[in-house]
Amino acid sequence: MMKFTFKKSIFALTAVCALLLSACGTGTNNDGSDKKKVLNVGTEATFAPFEFMDKGEMTGFDVDLLNALAKEAGYEVKMENTGWDAMFAGLQSEQLDIGIAGITMDEDRKKTYDFSSPYFESISMIVFKEGTDIQNAEDLKGKKVGVQNGTTGQFSAEAVVGKNSSDISKYETAALMFQALQSKNVEAVVTDIAVALEYEKNNPDSGVQTAVDENQFKSEYYGIAFPKGSELRDEFDQALVTLFENGKYEEIYKKWFNNEEPNIEALQN
């Protein structure tokens, strides 16, 4: 009896110690091994070439970049196609460690989330069916415009046609937005330039055209999102500098953008 209790308390003590240790050690798992910590990552994977599903696998520029960053920083990642709104909710409730989805760092989002340094420059672009009279942003007025809900594409369109305009239709995913264009439920969509160009390239027979308007739309920068106060931010920023310097960022960029050279300096200014 005595022996049993003693054993039990040793067991309890060991368990408490293990718990304490795992709570303190950042890179250590609950089982005490130094297997890498797994980070939960959310995204909205209908946004080629940044994140999209290909034969059931999530792939894209953001996916490659995040994997390379995590490797550099010593983490494993579990990426999930949470959807756009759920990704932000998951970051806020800290159920997610990271959000990566071509997320533009705007002043509003910066209030709620922490962001990495910029890793991509973008601007809004208009995509429309051939034969629609659109030269610039002004021409969106009076037309039916589709956007992905809660994205800078929406904000760009609203800045032209007015907030809450009934001419703007908001879709849950980027894919649904493009479908609305194809099925002629809208006459134009406003989305990020690289996504617009990728769509045009991947749908050569669909007769779509694109227009930019640098007077109306402004440059925006993508960042990786973290819950406010996350310690991961600095680690991932350091890893990003390493990938900028060791050629890995360039390799990933070229893979997804027609072998073009990235302008890393512009991102670092």
Site residues for ligand ARG per CB under 6 A: 44, 47, 51, 84, 101-104, 148, 151-152, 174, 192
**Closer by beta carbon to ligand ARG, 60 or else 262:** 60
- The nearest distance, CB 259 to ligand ARG, in angstroms, is 23
- The nearest distance, CB 181 to ligand ARG, in angstroms, is 15
User: What is the 3-state composition of the chain as percent helix, strand, coil, each rounded to the nearest 5?
Assistant: 40, 20, 35
Give the 3-state secondary structure of residue 21. helix
- The nearest distance, CB 245 to ligand ARG, in angstroms, is 26
**Closer by beta carbon to ligand ARG, 28 or else 80:** 80
- The nearest distance, CB 115 to ligand ARG, in angstroms, is 11
**Closer by beta carbon to ligand ARG, 139 or else 192:** 192
For the stretch 98-137, what's the b/e string if a residue is b when 16 or more beta carbons lie within 10 angstroms of its beta carbon?
bbbbbbbbeeebeeebbbbbbbbebbbbbbbbeeeebeeb
- The nearest distance, CB 47 to ligand ARG, in angstroms, is 3
**Total residue count of the chain as it appears in this document:** 269
**Closer by beta carbon to ligand ARG, 51 or else 139:** 51
From residue 241, how far is each of 89, 99, 203, 247 by CA, in Å? 28, 19, 35, 10
Q: Centre a 10 Å sphere on the Cβ of residue 77 and count the other Cβ atoms it contains.
A: 21
**Closer by beta carbon to ligand ARG, 150 or else 162:** 150
